[in-house]
Structure 1
Amino acid sequence: MISNVIVAQSTEVEKANFYKKTYAHVAFAILAFIGVETVLLKIVPAELIYMMFVQKYAWLLIIGVFWLASFLASKWSLSQSRATQYFGLGFYVVLEAMIFLPLIYIAILQSGGQVIFQAATLTTAMFAGISAVAFTSKRDFSFLRNIIVIGGFIALGLIVGGMLFGFNLGLWFSVGMVILASASILYQTSKLKDSYTTNQYVGASLQLFASIMLLFWYILSILNRRS
């Protein structure tokens, strides 16, 4: 049975174990994403990948399915069953790999993978810096929740509008999404101790992984524009 002790109310040893397991699972999720993405690039025909970012309605359908599946994956990852938690995390990793497929494909065509390495390096550095701020600062970052929720709905509306009506969101939208993803990482990291029990490190890692991948997506999008 999964413990119901909130991290903030646990012992220092239990807190340390929770954080260690959470970030270890984030690292494993990233490695799994790389592995799945590599396989998809090898087995998915180039014509199908091309259709994913050329056919706007197909891409809109993919995003709709992705949002629904992401909700289910998050719910599963917080289940009382450990097996269900891991199923949710694994399912989400596969979804991310599928969504990233056309963006990674474009980056490889344009730069041979150099831009991907640069984006990964920037994402890692930003995640480390934001995490350090969250753990060392005594500020309450709960005010970011409403900003993230409202910003997320606005961003989703703009994305859907751009697909339906054919307008380009441009560089500044990507910059804004980098800021939104950074705020999400800061908020989620600062709330880890209050939102999860000591045995919900799989669910905590999924939420952090999702924000990291959102940050990586828009950093890579910005660098793709420059290459």
Structure 2
Amino acid sequence: MLESTSYASPYTVAAQPADVRATFIKKTYAHLGGAIGLFAILEYFFLRSQTMLNLVQPMMGNWWMILIGFMGISWLANKWATSNTSLAMQYAGLGLYVVAQAIIFIPLLYMAIAITGSTALIGQAGIITAALTVGVTAIAFITKKDFSFLNSFLMIGGFIALGLIFSSMIFGFNLGLIFSAAMAIFASVAILRDTSNIIHKYGTEQYVAASLGLFASIALLFWYVIQILMSLAGRD
């Protein structure tokens, strides 16, 4: 999940006429759809590539290194996507982030396939993630409330989650189903905040950055929904 960027109120989408706001929202969700589509295409080919399988197998035992690397890439992608100097740089940030997410998801998706013997669990996770995203998005658009006050909660919760994740890697304990459920709720709250920011906080030319922030939160939700379904499948 990436932090969204706020802009001075006269330049935000919320301060613009209705047609400008509508255009910005359409562009943001069009780019979000493109990011999700690219992610799905990459995973389709990655999961069928022996070369990619050979590449990610060493990742399975070095999650702490992958997490640190991913955090660095996320920071760089967000910096590029929020650039005001070049639209091409913004697209490069979004593309970099989608590719990084697609790669880091591969070991998890392989494990999900190994548990069920098919991609059915991944499909179920996708449907659940989509349903939760639509529900949370509806709340933001129907209420039109500014949920930026959730920033503090998300920041503190994010640090706690990272601490627990690194602790589990160092001491070798399993965070379990309860942690995955808590993180799914965390990601849903992040989607609510990010959607609110699309309505209230972004500048009119920041639709690429807005789509990246929302994609990041949706990917986080997808990750933990898969974890929850894997845990439940393992109990059968």
TM-score (norm 2): 0.89
**Is 1:90 matched with 2:95?**
yes
Equivalent residues in 2 for 1:4-153, closer than 5 Å: 5-43=11-49, 44=51, 46-53=53-60, 55=61, 58-80=62-84, 81-111=86-116, 112-153=118-159
- Per-residue deviation, 1:109: 2.0
Structure 2: state its 5+ residue gaps.
1-9
Q: Match for 1:13: what amino acid?
A: D
CA distances 1:137-190 after superposition (whole Å, capped 9, x unpaired)? 154423211110000000001001100110110110000000100110111111
Q: Determine the structure 2 residue equivalent to 1:174.
A: 180
Please give the alpha-carbon distance, in whole angstroms, between the structure 1 residues aligned to 2:90 and 2:74.
13
Q: Match for 1:73: what amino acid?
A: A
CA distances 1:91-122 after superposition (whole Å, capped 9, x unpaired)? 00000001101011111222200001110000
Q: Secondary structure at the match of 1:15?
A: helix
Aligned residue-pair number: 221
Does the C-alpha gap of structure 1 residues 193 and 147 become closer, same or farther in structure 2, counting only changes over 3 Å? same
Does the C-alpha gap of structure 1 residues 40 and 130 become closer, same or farther in structure 2, counting only changes over 3 Å? same
Q: Determine the structure 2 residue equivalent to 1:223.
A: 229
Q: Secondary structure at the match of 1:143?
A: helix
Asked whether the equivalents of residues 28 and 208 of structure 2 are also in contact (C-alpha less than 8 Å), the reply is yes
Q: Which has the larger displacement, 113-122 or 186-195?
A: 186-195
% identity of equivalent residues: 48
Structure 1: state its 5+ residue gaps.
none
- Per-residue deviation, 1:48: 4.3
Please give the alpha-carbon distance, in whole angstroms, between the structure 2 residues aligned to 1:64 and 1:52.
12
Please give the alpha-carbon distance, in whole angstroms, between the structure 2 residues aligned to 1:107 and 1:39.
16
Q: Determine the structure 2 residue equivalent to 1:190.
A: 196
Q: RMSD across aligned C-alpha pairs, in angstroms?
A: 1.4
- Per-residue deviation, 1:40: 1.9
CA distances 1:13-65 after superposition (whole Å, capped 9, x unpaired)? 11001000101111110110011122222333545434322x1xx21111101
Q: Match for 1:167: what amino acid?
A: F
Q: Match for 2:170: what amino acid?
A: L
**Is 1:203 matched with 2:209?**
yes
Please give the alpha-carbon distance, in whole angstroms, between the structure 2 residues aligned to 1:168 and 1:197.
42
TM-score (norm 1): 0.93
Please give the alpha-carbon distance, in whole angstroms, between the structure 1 residues aligned to 2:159 and 2:102.
23
Q: Match for 1:52: what amino acid?
A: M
